[in-house]
Amino acid sequence: MFKVKCFAYKAKQGLASVGIELLEWVISSELKRTKLEYELEETVAIPQVDSRSLKLPGLGEIPIERGRVIRVSRGIASQLADSGLVRLGEEPLTLKDVAAMRWLEASEEGLIKLPDYFYIKAAKLVQAHKDDKKTMIQNDLQEIIDIRVRKIVKLVFLKEPPTSILERLQPEEKFLYNLLREALNGWRRGLMYTDEQRG
């Protein structure tokens, strides 16, 4: 009897481990999808070189003139900016921006509206710094994440959260909100109904 209980316990542990690994894979895949969506989104680039044409993968040849705006995917625009050929049309996130967002998020009861793709831009900002500023940005970002996760968990328990609040969620947060909401609803259903009632 003891061996059967030990086997059942180990089997249960193994299933839990597989379940956690699957959940981690789903989360990782969703975060990668969001980053890809960000990189493929069209953005404005302002050429910084005199007239010439560039051969871009999947786009063929694109004529560019200094100061004449072109629209390309953010990933391509970033590579062109790194090579000095263009300047990005969108303003990058700064240390002051992240600190301001942290202060606003901490002082408001509801979720504040963050810039689009805030977490991806903040992660790029962290990567761009190597000194004490990097630690400051990481600390502010972690505080923003912690505060917003607490607010999202509260939203999960609302029957009908206001649309205006849900629209303030970042793509990564929408995924988390939906995941938590579905998990909680499934858990509740599992507790309330027997197998015959689910039928």
Q: How many domains does the chain have?
A: 3
pLDDT value at position 126? 95
Q: 147: domain CATH number?
A: 1.20.58.2050
User: What pLDDT score was predicted for residue 145?
Assistant: 98
Per-residue pLDDT, 19: 81
pLDDT digits (tens, 9 = 90+) for 41-79: 999 999 988 867 877 777 788 888 888 898 989 998 998
Q: Which domain holds residue 178?
A: 92-195
Q: How far apart are CA 95 and CA 126, in angstroms?
A: 9
Same-domain check for residues 72 and 124: no
Domain boundary among 26, 58, 90: 90
Residues of the chain falling short of pLDDT 70: 1-15, 51, 194-199
Q: Which of 133, 128, 180 is nearest to 152 (CA)?
A: 180
CATH of the domain at 69: 3.40.5.50
* Same structural domain, 126 and 59: no
- Rounded to whole angstroms, how far apart are CA atoms 149 and 133? 24
Is there a single domain that holds both residue 114 and residue 168?
yes
pTM of the model: 0.81
The reply to whether 72 and 116 lie within a common domain is no
C-alpha–C-alpha distance, residues 145 and 173, integer Å: 10
Residue percentage of the chain with pLDDT more than 90: 58
Supply the DSSP string of 116-175, one letter for each residue.
TTHHHHHHHHHHH--SHHHHHHHHHHHHHHHHHHHHHHHHHT-SS--HHHHTTS-HHHHH
Q: Is 125 in the same domain as 62?
A: no
Question: Residues 50, 112: one domain?
Answer: no
Q: Is the domain of 77 the same as that of 98? A: no
Length of the chain in terms of residues written: 199
Q: Please check whether residues 99 and 24 belong to one and the same domain.
A: no
